[in-house]
Amino acid sequence: MQMLRSVIFDMDGTLLDSMQMWHELDLRFLRENGIEPPADISEIVKKMTVDRSSAYFVERFSLPMTPEDVKRRVEEIAAEEYRLHLQLKPGAADYLKTLADMGIPCALATVNYPSLVEAALRRLGVWDCFRVILTPEDDAAGKHTPTLYLRAAAALGTSPAETAVIEDARYAAETAAAAGFYTVGFYDDAGAADWDAMQQICRRTAGSWQELADSDFLSMFCK
C-alpha cells in the first residue's frame, strides 16, 4: 500500500461551506455596477485567482474601474461573511484535530484573499492546524500550475507521492494529480457537474468528512 506523510487542504468548498456565497457575490457585484450577470459567470471565475477574476470583470464588462478597484470591492463584500458567518463543513474540524493528534503535518493551499482566509480560520479555531498557508500572493498562477502544491509539500518536508491533496474543484484536482500528488476529490454542490470526472481523476473521493473518516484513508499514513 502507498504510504502518505502529509496533507494539503483546499479551503473553499472543501473545508469551508462557502461556494454558494461566492456565486451570489459575483451576481451582486455585477448588478451593483448595472450589469445583468451572464448565466456562466460564476463557472468561469471560480477557476481564477482573485487577481485574474478582477481583471476579467474589467475586460469583459468594460467596467470604469481598475482591477484593483474590483478586487477591493469584492473583498469588502465578502469580508463580513468570512469574519462573521461562514462555517466549516460538518466534520471538518474533527478531521483536522484527528490529523493533529496523529502528528500528520498539514498545509492549506487556497486562491482566496489572505485576509479572508485568516479571518475565517481564526474565528473557527482551525488556523493553528496548518504548518503553512499558501495563497495567490505566493504564486499568481493559482492552481492552474502545481507550484502552490509543490511549495506546500516542500514546507511540509514531503514529496508529492507522499502528500495527499484534498480538493473540490476539478481543474485543481487535475493539476495536483498530474504533478504526482495522491489526490482526494471532495464533493461540493458547486462542482456537482464534475463529480463523475472527479471520480476518474482522483485516487479516491468522499462526499463528506464523515465518509472520509469512516474510510481506510488514515491507515495510509506513516506513523
* Structural domain spans, the chain: 6-18+87-220, 19-85
* 223 class by beta-carbon count within 10 Å (0-12 exposed, 13-18 middle, 19+ buried): exposed
CATH topology of domain 6-18+87-220: Rossmann fold (3.40.50)
Do the bridges between strand 182-186 and strand 204-206 make them parallel or antiparallel, or are there none, so unpaired? parallel
pLDDT for the residue numbered 139: 60
Round to whole Å and give the CA distance between 111 and 109.
7
Q: Is the dihedral of CA 45, 51, 56, 62 positive or negative?
A: positive
pTM: predicted TM-score of the whole model, two decimal places: 0.87
**Cα atoms in the Cβ-side hemisphere of radius 13 Å centred on 51:** 9
pLDDT score for 113: 87
- Residue found by looking up cell 514531503 in the block: 158
6 close to 106: Cβ distance less than 8 angstroms: yes
Give every CB contact of residue 10 below 8 A, 6+ residues apart in sequence. Answer: 108, 109, 110, 165, 166, 167, 168, 169, 172, 186
User: What's the pLDDT score for residue 44?
Assistant: 86
Please tell me the predicted confidence (pLDDT) of residue 223: 61
Q: What is the pLDDT along the chain (223 residues), one digit of tens a residue?
A: 679 999 999 999 999 999 888 888 888 899 999 999 998 888 888 778 778 889 999 999 999 999 999 989 988 888 989 999 999 999 999 999 999 999 999 999 999 889 999 999 999 999 999 999 998 776 656 898 999 999 999 999 999 999 999 999 999 999 999 999 999 999 999 899 999 999 999 999 999 999 999 999 999 997 6
